Structure 1
Amino acid sequence: MPLCSSAIPSLTGRGAGLSTHPQLIDVLRRVGVDFDESMGVKLDTFIFLDRSGKTYLEAKTVRVMSSWGRLYRSLRDLLPPQSYRLGMSLRHVEQDSGVSAIFADGSRLGADLLVAADGVRSTVREQFLPQVVPNYAGYVAWRAMLDEREIPPAIRAEVFERYTFCLPEGELFLAYPVPGRNNETQVGRRAYNIVWYRPTAPDALVDLCTDAQGQYHGTAIPPPLIRPDVLAAIKATARALVAPQVAEIFCRAQPFFQPIFDLESPQIVFGRVALLGDAAFVARPHVGAGVTKAGLDAVSLADATVGQDVAAALLQYQREQQPFGRGLVALGRQEGAYLSAQLKPPDQRTAAELKRDVKDVLLSHQLRSESLRDVLAASRRVV
């Protein structure tokens, strides 16, 4: 079946920064993407800044920060134009001796196998698992990205080449360089990415997702519709709570927010249909492995189809990737437990939920790839 995207007319430039893992690099190289210096920005230092902007902890790391758009472009370039159809809005799936995708314009495409990689709000998953919905974690991620050339020179010299942490009470603020908006990795043409996790009660989230005309947009308000007063308030809060260097970058950008969810599918195969990536499982972004998981899902499915029929291949795929997805969701919940707990009364929190150890925060980031490896290994032992 030709590859079909969503109703969005173009995916270029979507997404922000992401971590790369050895497993992701292996997947990319397997399909012909040479993971060279143009794929991301290399970092060698973590720094923790207090509210005054002073560094109180520094540690070495080896990390390449890339972006969704950079990886998408590399993969998209491998496909002939006729194999990738943009602007297609899927309505539902039908199965008999094969499987067909039916689109909003009345067209349909038939094949032996349909791979549903249509994200956290998957149309395909909703058809087969209508009872499975994303679970709100109790906090949002405020995001911002600013072109390198728009950052004041003194601030750029101090923080740009570092992975920066700020730890306001009950919150987590991360900042790091990524490829530029057109995927550039040359000095001066890169961008600076910020992710700021803030506990947000459900009723406060409703207010955030209500536009200036009073219309409520569910949990996915388009960034241009975020009210000016909401943006002014978050910028003022940044200047009050986080280091002035990164607060200045945040305030010069155009922030938007994303509520944090996780999701587990009890089943990821339905006849000739397979759920893949975020359509199957959504782990909280602390794991830093959403794109890596999707790549590993694709490898598992591709390998399973070699030498056996579709039914046997999909059974093998589900045996391998179901426990892997569950493991990543569990890891994400563990990493985000401190943030989720901030909505509980203090007397109902554990000691770790009342006070976090900065060294634990550092260690969890230093060991992200190892944690991913361990979850993958454990899932294979289950198989």
Structure 2
Amino acid sequence: MGQARGATWARVPAAAAVALGAGALLTSGPAAAAAGWWSVAGLALAGLVALLTAVSLADLAAQSCLTGVSAHVRTRLGVLPGRFAGVLDIGGRVVGAAAVAGAVGAYLWPAQPKVAAIGVLVCVAGLALGRVRFSGPSRWVIVGVTMVTVAVFVTTGLAIEPVRQAVDAVADAPGANDATGILAAAGVFFFGFLGVERAVGPRARTGLVTVLVVAVASLLVFVTALRQLGGPRLALSPTPLRDALAAADGAAIDPALTVGLAVGGLLAVRSLLAGAGAGLTDLAEAGELPAAATVHRHLITAVAAAAVALMVDPTTAVAIAATLLLGSAAFLNSAARTLCREQRSSWVPTGCCGLALSVVVGVNISTGSLLAAVVVLGVGTGLCTLRVRRVRSDTPG
């Protein structure tokens, strides 16, 4: 029992590193574009949604040996909701991997970011296909590099007084302080809490600790970038952390920043594609997809992410990914609503609260991301439905 608890708590730093690897690269610019300094409130709201969802997942996991989102939803709510949840979760992770790869590409090769993004995805897919796994020490090195990079960026950015902006942000322009954009900023910031589920398991307290660690670190990164660049510049920057570091007269340590962000980004891409592959396996085991989807899951997810990275810029991709993942979170929280009080780890009805907030935040990110999520859900659900009907038609009797 003690060893299991220790192993669960040991996953907290790794989960936080995955979340920061994704969030630090992607969320600051779009969040600032939506609400300016009001995005801080959006970050708090995103953290609350992530916490409620993490506790719901922990409570569900404590009642069964299931691990996948769609498996929990299928067991509690039925086949069709489980199919919806699985498609949304897989789609969100694939699009999210493309977004992170695109952001890493912008830092590694600014002249050809899409080429660099494909290179990142090929590298991660190669490691997965070659069954290369990071050992304990190497994993801790990766986590340490990510954390140190964030610490150096925040320390440098907060130690230097920012240059006063020559022109104030115009009202309604990207980056202006706009309280009406809090929900959109919260949706984008929710993407920065990816990886929290890796530390949850059946213990809700580990989810709480991970969410708090990620929230504090994300707040420091965002405040540092926004303080140095101001809302308009941060909203338009493809590499906000690099530009914020340059504004803080820290260009000399840019190579170290690039390496650290690349390492964190690679860790996040690997985790996202692994999660999408696990989702494919779950649907295949439930008969929703062919068995070949399990065998070729690494190739399928990598190719899909590469296609998204070529077609969609990282800012748009992160909005779509966040919408999809919030949809999946809504179904997961809805499944947790079926738990009675004795089965919940808290007196707070996390399922009800998480469901409401997931829906409200998800539909307010942007109209384009909502439409894209509907298309992904429709196509994915349609493919699963056709597969099920074909199996039934081929089954005698």
The TM-score normalised by the length of structure 2 is: 0.28
Hey, which of these two has a bigger chunk of strand by percent?
A: 1
| Larger RCO of the pair (alpha carbons < 8 Å, separation 6+) | 2
Structure in which a larger fraction of residues adopt helix? 2
Larger gyration radius, structure 1 or structure 2: 1
